Each structure stands twice: as structure tokens, then as C-alpha cells.
Amino acid sequence: MEKKRVKLTIDGKEIEVDDGISVFQAAVVAGIYVPHYCYHPDLSVAGVCRMCLVEIDKVPRLQISCNTPVKEGMVVATASQKARDAQKGSLELHLINHPLDCPICDKAGECKLQDIYRDFGLYKSRMEYENKVHKPKVQDIGTIMLDAERCILCARCTRFTDEVTKTNELVFVNRGDRTTLKTFDDGPLQNEYTGNLADICPVGALTAKDFRFQQRVWFLDKTDSVCTQCARGCNTQVSYNPKTKKLYRVEPRRNVEVNKSWICDKGRWDYHYVYAENRIKFPLEGATKSESTWHHVFGELNARSMENPKSILVLLSTQLTNEELADAKETLPFMGITQMGWLVDESKVGDVEPYDGILKHRDPTANAAGFQKIFEGAKNPVLDLEATSNLLAGNEVTEVWLLGLEGNEFEWVTEKLPGLLKKRLVVHATNQAPWMESATLLLPNVSSFEKSGTVVNALGRLQKVQQAIPTAYLGRDLHRFLTGLREGGDRAKIDASRFADIFAKKVAPVFLKEAQTWRSLSVMGVSR
């Protein structure tokens, strides 16, 4: 059904918007910023900060734009003298009891109090009184540090734990200016989305322990990407400091179709495997895992495949991008390797709905859906786990290459593929696990933060993973791995950007109706 449209004027700009939205949302459409603290696009309207007061023609009192529905012919002024004075008044009242500890506040640089205060001209405070309301000092509530004194009571966090996680651990106790944010039992937070609280807190009241005092935000570069920790594919923004060359933070990037403004704590904080002790840094060889070179590895693998390709089974992880898979689909048969299976816990694949009713999917890999599509109708059908298991039970296959393993969640492999450890193993992974001990070659993979490519989430949406940090150590993604195999492993010859060609030629045509280049593909992804 076609939505009714409404015409209105905001700050002299005439716009047409959907009926039923608020004046605030209409201002967003018009590209006009209205100051606010409590409004959040993915939470209910609280209407309590009173910062978004605007003047509406023929309405005597100022109205909060977040709770005022648009009307045909409405004329709104968001920055008239009257509106600005009221907004400034509300701001001033916000600051009365707020501690002036910006230099040691971790929110500095992305604090909305600072931003709006600056906007209003850094006026001098009238409040010279010493007797501020004192509230508890900073408390540890699990993954988050809570500083109740900095809290401006916008109720974003309490609405989040009420409406999104429905866990209700955060509450405002008492009333009036004694109102204090706390967890109801003074204990730790009890949901798996706690990191979002630090994101939505407009001030420094809730800060993520993981990021606290790690970096000043203005030193960070940000890259739009997609979380690869499960089949949801939540849209993210990854922060990296080019000086230290390290990743410091993964945050959600709003995408109403996928994750709204949220990501789970796993998606946010599991990035630490990138710098973990067990990260495979160099090609490692033999029982002693002695350091080797890619040149040597490629020579070795080429020799083995030429000798007896039928003895080799390649298992490809569903963590691999479409581009990597498309490359593998062509390169491996070209080398004579026709036995290919997918490496994923099938019992968890295929759910369209998240198991927790929010975002989490049981499948902890990013691209099972893309995998199936890429290999649809392939000349050599990809083996499922059962077929792989059967094959491993026999003697024909003596060698297994497990490619594209990322993170620490492959423990299930030896359980579901009992014959595996009896074979000669080549493992391409980011992190070493005990079961990989027996591998003859242990090859460094890159994480999803260190490569670019596309993945397809459980909803069938094609999304863009973008490299956010430089490749750590000597890791190679599968495309560069295969390039090495093809071209003898000379590092200088590898053109890493060729994945973009693979996307345009091999991937886009499979998923999209219209031609797309890597650059033209939106970071918001494309729904099938």
C-alpha cells in the first residue's frame, strides 16, 4: 500500500515525507540537525531531554520535535531565537550536575554534551554553585563501566535493556535530581548486547571496558565493514589507528534491514583473536612447526597436487568470501583437485531468524548462504559433511587441505569428521588449535578485518566486507594463497586488488540482476 505523503516546511526548506513520522525525523530527511540526547531511531520515544524543542507556526508552546507528528502544511523552525534559547536552556540544565572531568573522560571527542555545548558557543556557565548532586563513583558492571555522576538520564540505556534485550537490568532508582542509573541488583549486566550501551550513551556514563583508555577517538580511522562472527552479517564500523597499526574497536553501523543500530558482544569484542597468542604468524612445517616460507609451501603443495590430485580433499570454510570461493571453484579443478567439501557445522546452517530473537544466529560463520550460491550447479558438486565423512573413512583420500579457517570456533571439526586426524593435514587458519598439532603444514590465514570481499547473510543479503587493518604477519587470504599456487609463489607478482575483478566478473552476476563493480556496491549491501 502506498504511504500517504505530507508536505511541510522546516527552516524554510519545503519537503515531502511519509505521513506518521515525527517532525524530528522529517528534519533528518531534510538534512537538518536538531540537538537531542534521548531520541534514538531504534528505541521508543522518551521525550525527556527536551533538547529538540522547536517552534511550530500557530502552536503557542514549543514542542519536542521527536514526539510531534508531521502535518500537512506545517511550518517548523528548529533554530529560531525562541527555539535556540529553549534548547540552550535545556543544555544548561543538563550541565548543572554534570562533572567537568572531560580531560579524563573516555567519551571525550564523541560526547554529545561536548558537541552541542560547542554548537551553542561555549558560553560561560551561570552555575557557580558548588553543591552538585553527588552520586556513586564509577562502578564495574561487567563489560561496562558505569559512572552515574556523568549520566544525564536520557533513558537510552534503560530503554535498550527494556525494549531490545528485555533483560531490564539497568534501572533509574529514586526520583527528581536524585535519580540514579544502576543495575537493579548492583551486579553485572546480564545480556549479550552490552557493548551497545556504550555506543548509545551520549555521554561518558557508560563506557566499554574493552575500549576504555585505549585510544583517544580522534586518532582513529574508521572503515565500514560487516561482522563475520555469525550468519547475521551485522553492519559494522571498524576503528584502527594508523600509527599503532592496530584495531581498537568494532561498532555497529546502522542498517535497519539487518541489525538496526546494534551488534552483539561477540561480534564486537571477539576481534581479539586477531592479536591472540595462538595467531599463526608464518607458514609452519612438520611436527616441530618450524618456520617456513610461502615460496616453499607453494612448491610443496604444487608438487603434491601434481603427484596425485585424487588423494587430496579440500575443505573450504564458509567463512571465506564469495570472491575467495569463486577463485577456489576455478583454480582447484584446474590443478586437478576435484574433491571439495564445505567446512561448516551444518546443524546450525539455514536459520533465517536469530535464535535469541535479536541478532544472534547459531551458525558462527559469515557466508554459508554465499557458499551454496557460488557452488550451485558446479561441475564437481561440493561434498556435504556426511559425504566428506564417508570419504575420510576410506583410504582413497590421504591428504586433506582445510582452507579459510578463521577464529577459534572449529573444535567441532574433529568430532564431526572423526577420520580427519588420520590424514595428512594442511591447515590454513588464523589461529592455532590443539587439534591442528598433527598438521604437516600450518598456514597463516587472514582475519575478516584484513581482507575485502562479499558475503551473503542468512537473510540472503549480499554485503561488503572491507579491509580495515593491514595484514598482520605473513597471512594470506585464500585468493592470494591460490594466486601463489598458480604463479609459483613469487610475492611480487601477486596483485591483491584482483579480488575486485573476481567480484565484478564472477560474483556480481551470480547474485545481482544488474552489473556492479566493487566500488559501486553499496556498503549497505543488496537484498536479493
Partner 1 sequence: MTDIAFTPDRLEQCQKLVKKYEKPQCALLPVLYLAQDQYKYLTLPVMAYVAKLLEMPTGKVVDAVSFYSMFKREDPGKFCFQICHNVTCRMMGAEKMMAVAKEELGVGKKVTTEDGRFSFETVECLGSCDNAPVLQLNNEFLKPINEEGFRDFLKKLKQGNEASISEVLS
Partner 2 sequence: MSVLAQERKILLKHIAEPDLGTLKGYERLGGYQALKKALTMAPTAVIEEVKVSGIRGRGGAGFPTGMKWSFVPQNTGKPIYLLCNADESEPGCFKDKLLLEKNPFALLEGIAIAAHAVGSKKSYIYIRGEYAKAARILEKAIAEAYQAGYLGQKVMGSAFSVDLVLHRGAGAYICGEETGLISSLEGKKGQPKLKPPFPAVSGYLGCPTVVNNVETLSTLPWILQNSGAAYAKYGTEKSTGTRLFCLSGWVNKPGVYELELGTPLVDLIEKEGGGMKDGAKLKAVIPGGSSTPPLTAAEVAEARLDFESIGKFGSFLGAGGVIVIPEHVSLVGILETIAEFYWDESCGQCTPCREGTGWLYKIMKMIADGQGKKSDIADLNKTANLMMGTTICALSDAAAMPVLGFLKKFPQEFEAALGTPH
- Out of 2, 128, 185, 277, the residue judged to bind partner 1 by CB under 8 A: 185
Q: 66 or 369, CB closer to partner 2?
A: 66
Q: Which residue's C-alpha cell is 544502576?
A: 182
Taking CB under 8 A as the rule, does residue 372 contact partner 1?
Answer: no
**Max Cα separation, the chain?**
87
- Out of 15, 75, 172, 254, the residue judged to bind partner 1 by CB under 8 A: 172
- Out of 67, 214, 331, 338, the residue judged to bind partner 2 by CB under 8 A: 67
Q: 175 or 272, CB closer to partner 2?
A: 175
The residues that bridge with 427 in the sheet, in sequence order, are 402, 442
Taking CB under 8 A as the rule, does residue 48 contact partner 1?
Answer: no
CA angle 510, 516, 521 (to 5 degrees): 105
Question: SS3 for 399?
Answer: strand
Taking CB under 8 A as the rule, does residue 170 contact partner 1?
Answer: yes
Q: What is the DSSP string of 110-132?
A: S-HHHHHHHHTT-PPPS-----P
Burial class of residue 505 in the structure, from the number of CB atoms within 10 Å of its CB (0-12 exposed, 13-18 middle, 19+ buried): exposed
- Out of 4, 124, 175, 519, the residue judged to bind partner 1 by CB under 8 A: 175
Count of C-beta atoms within a 10 Å radius of residue 312: 25
- Out of 10, 43, 76, 86, the residue judged to bind partner 2 by CB under 8 A: 86
- Out of 5, 57, 59, 69, the residue judged to bind partner 2 by CB under 8 A: 69
Give me the half-sphere count of Cα atoms (radius 13 Å) on the Cβ side of residue 509.
6
Closest Cα partner for 114 from 122, 125, 104?
Answer: 122
Q: 88 or 159, CB closer to partner 1?
A: 159
Q: 177 or 386, CB closer to partner 2?
A: 177
- Out of 59, 127, 173, 387, the residue judged to bind partner 1 by CB under 8 A: 173
Q: Which of partner 2, partner 1, none interacts with 468 (beta carbon under 5 to 8 A by kind)? A: none
x/- binding map, residues 26-45, to partner 2, per CB under 8 A?
A: -------------------x
Distance CA 141, CA 188 (A): 4
From residue 322, give the alpha-carbon distance in Å to each of 282, 341, 366, 502, 511: 25, 15, 10, 9, 10
- Out of 129, 277, 357, 394, the residue judged to bind partner 2 by CB under 8 A: 129
DSSP code for 3: P
- Where on the chain is the footprint of partner 2 (CB under 8 A)? 45-51, 53, 61-62, 67, 69, 86, 89-90, 92-94, 96-97, 126-127, 129, 131, 133, 152-153, 155, 172, 174-179
